[in-house]
Amino acid sequence: MSSESSAALEISGLSAGYGRVEVLRDIDLTVARGEMVTLIGANGAGKSTLLKAVVGLVAPSAGSVRLFGADVTRMSPERAVREGLALVPEGRMLFGPMSVEENLRLGAHTRSAEEFSAERDRVFELFPVLSERRGQSAATLSGGEQQMLAVGRALMAQPRMLLLDEPSLGLAPRIIAEIFAALETLRSRGITILLVEQDARLALKHADRGYVMRTGSIALHGAADELLANDDIRLIYLGAWRGEGE
């Protein structure tokens, strides 16, 4: 159904918003297969809205989204998950009263029961601490463990493309490093990644390419190291670096 040459994710001319309020205007963004691309921008720029529009949580008013060559524009989120797209939402959105294991089971909702334990073990391999906490309720995990669970839950759907919305938010540098190491592992397994981050420097260090969003449109994009070296970027987006002094 999809040709080998097509990109993993191809967003063209996408506009979307909430009700009559247009948030995204004419967005073009492409992620090649196996690539890790980051989307950075100030608070309220529309990064989360773009991810929501891609997975079908927000209906686009114009433009198209193609996933591995297949048109997924206006597809329902549950169809999108079945098509191999998984979102790690902003704020994690875990099932607090349920155990780690149950959260993972729900992540595998679109998968057959037989696939569960093998996939769960792969998640435990990636984040061994989750294995120790498997019977504990998600609400009682530390922030870092919760973020790992959010990523693990998304992986249970066995996605080909992973969208992450600010996985580093509020976490200690050591934990952030652990999560980014896991993302690198996932990329080496062939999973394509689109990563939304506030911490532009961190994101650009790991990503292949980056897009910079400004009030609902893409202001510029390019190779990650070019963006890191770009004076405008340094001034506007990297000026407010967290973790300064490295």
Partner 1 sequence: MLGRPDIRLVVIVAVALVAVFALPMLTSERYLLRVFTFVGVNVIIITGMALLFGYAGQVSLGHAAFYGIGAYASAFAVINLGWPWPAGVALAIVLTAAGGFLLALPSLRLKGHYLAMATLGFGEIMKVAFVEARPVTGGPDGLSGIPYPAIGPFEFDTAGLAYWLVWGVAAVALLLAYNVVRSRAGRAMRALHGSELGATACGIDITGIKVRVFVISASLAGLAGALYAHVVGFVSPSTFSLHVSVLLVAMAVLGGTGSLAGPVIATVLLTLIPYSDAVIPGLSRSALETIQEWQEDIYGLTIIAVMLFVPGGIGSLIRRMAPGRGEAR
What are the residues binding partner 1 (CB under 8 A)?
A: 55, 57, 76-78, 80-82, 86-89, 92-98, 102, 105-107, 109-110, 113, 116, 153-154, 156-157
Structure token pair of residue 215 = 């009030």
Residue 25 interacts, among ligand ATP, Mg ion, partner 1, none and using kind-specific CB cut-offs from 5 to 8 Å, with: none
Q: Determine the interface stretch with ligand ATP among 44-52, 69-77, 78-86, 128-136 (rule: CB under 6 A).
A: 44-52
Query: Which one among 14, 23, 65, 200 touches ligand ATP, defined by CB under 6 A?
Result: 23
Listed residue (158, 144, 213, 150) closest to 186, CA to CA: 158
Ramachandran area for residue 88 (φ above 0: left; ψ -120 to 50: alpha; else beta): beta
Give the Cα separation of 35 and 195 in Å (integer).
Answer: 11
- The Cα 130–Cα 133 span in angstroms is 5
Q: Which is nearer to ligand ATP, 43 or 188 (CB)?
A: 43
From ligand ATP, Mg ion, partner 1, none, which one binds at residue 161 (CB under 5 to 8 Å depending on kind)? none
Per CB under 5 A, 48 contacts Mg ion: yes
Number of H helices, E strands in the chain: 10, 10
Nearer to partner 1, 101 or 208 (CB): 101
- CA gap 221, 206 in Å, rounded: 15
* Binding-site partner at residue 153 among Mg ion, ligand ATP, partner 1, none, CB < 5 to 8 Å by type: partner 1
Check: CB of residue 36 under 8 Å from CB of residue 208.
yes
Site residues, ligand ATP (CB under 6 A): 18, 21, 23, 41, 43-49, 90, 198
